[in-house]
A and B are shown apart, each in its own frame.
Chain A
C-alpha cells in the first residue's frame, strides 16, 4: 500500500505484520481467561455476596495492609534502588541479586523465610517476643509479608530508570549549591516520578494479590489476617460462587489501580 503525503501517520508504527499478529495472540491469551471468569460470575447474587461481613472485612483488611506495605516498600525501596543504581560501593552487585530473589521464590517459601527470621523461634523473632513485640498472627505480620514479596517490583522499576537517567542533572544541581538532601528531593525524585509511579502501582498490586507468604507467616483470621485472596481461597470450599464474586472484586480494585497510575503523560 502506498501512502501519499498528508495522510494520517502509520498506525502500526512501522511494526511488521507478524508482530502485530503475535500481539493479538498475546492479548487474547491474557484477556480470554479474564472474560471466562466474568462469564462464570453469578451477577445477580453479587451485591449480597460482596456486602457480607466476611467479604467487607477481607476487603478492608486487604486495602489497609496493602497501602501500609506499599508505603514501606517506597520508604525502603527508593533509597535502595538509587543506591544500587548509582553508588559505587563494594558488594552492590551481590546485593542487587539478593534484593530481587523474592521475585523468584514461591510465596510460601518467602513465608518460611520470614518465619525463620521473625517467627517466634526465629533469629530475631525470639528476641522481639521477649521484648514484648509479638509479630505472630498479627496484622503487622501481614504487612511485612506483603512488603517482602512486593519490594523487588518497586526496586526493579526504579533502578533501571535511575541507571538509565544517569546523574548528570544531580551533578549540575550540586554545583549550583544544592546539598545531597535537596538534590534528592528537588531533582532526582521528580525526574524519576514516572518510574516511581509504575513501581508503586506494581508493588501495590502485588501486595493486594499476595497469598502464600501471608498465610504461612501470619495465618488467617477474619479482620486480623484474612486478606481478600485468603477469603477467596476459603470460600472455594463451600461456596464457589462467592469465591468468584470476590475474585471479581479483586479484579476491579486492580483495574482501578492500573488505570490511575498508567496514565500517559502528554
Chain B
C-alpha cells in the first residue's frame, strides 16, 4: 500500500472514529460503551492495560546497562535516580543535537546497533517504520501504561500504537508550539502568526532550525495537513516560510540558541516559539518572555520512548519506560524539561507554573486547536515529501541572500 492510500484510509478511519464518538453520545449509551472501552483498554490493545488475559502486567526485572540515544535531559537523570539505585541499572546516554541524528546513527553502517532506548517525535513514526527501526513493545511489562491520559492511551493517530494494537512507543512528554515574545520590546502579544510578517518585526524574528516543525506550523496556519499537502498547496506553504525567513536575521540551530538571540536583544519574537523558552530565558536571568498560541492555533509535539532494533537489554529498557510513567517521575520530568505530562495523576504533582502551561482539564480541546501531526510522507507522487521539505528548507535558509 502506498502512502497516498494510507492517508486516504487513515482519514476515513479518523472520520469513522469521530462519527462513532458522536453516535455514542447521541444515543445516550455512554456508560455502557465507556465501560466496554475501558475493558478493551485493559486488554492492552488500547494502551493502558494493567490486567490482561495473560494476567496482571508487571515490570520486568531490570539489570545491566541501558544504552540511551536521545536529547539531553530525556534520560531524566534526577527523577530516575531512585529507580537506578534500586535496580542497579546504569544508563549510558548519547545525546543528539537534532532529531535526525537518531535515524542516522541507527542506520549509518550499523553504528547504532546496541542502543536500548531512543525517543521519537510522533511525526517520525512512518519514517521509522519504513526504516524498520521500531521494535514492538511488550505492554505486559509496562503496568504504568494504565496511568496515561485517555488521549494518549487511545492514540487515534496511531503515533504510538499500530492499528492492530502493537505498541511502538511510550508517550511521556509533550508540548504545544506558540509565539514567544520578549515583553521588554514587544508590548502586546501578536494575535496571529501573520502578524510576524509585519514591517515592525523585520529582522526581529527568531526561527529554530527545525524543518519539519516549521513546515508543520506553516501548513497548519494555511489550513493544510502537513502530512498530506499536495505539491501545489506545498508551494503556498514554502512561500509563507520564505516570507517568515525574510523577517529573520538567520535560522537558529536550536531552541536554546533562539532564546539566546532573544535575550541578547537580537530578536524580539519567535516563530515556532515554545513555553519552555520562557523558562530557558528565566534561567538566564530574563523573566520577560511570554508564549501564547495565536488564533490560528499551532501544532503539538509528543515524544515517545521506543525500543530500537538491535537492543540487547530490552527488559531494562521497558522497565525504564514503565518508570517514566510513574506519576511522580512523569511530573519531575515535566518540571525538568518544562513540558507537559502524559500521566493524569502527575498533574497534581506539578508546581503551579508548570501545570499552567497546558490546559489539562480539557486536553482534547487543546489538541484540537494544536493537533499532533505526522511528518510529510517519505515517498509520494501527490504530496510534498519529507526530503522535499528538508531540501527546500535549506534553500529558504539561504534565500535572503539570493
Chain A partners chain B: no
Please report B residues at the A interface, Cβ cutoff 8 Å: none
Which residues of A approach B to under 8 Å, CB–CB?
Answer: none
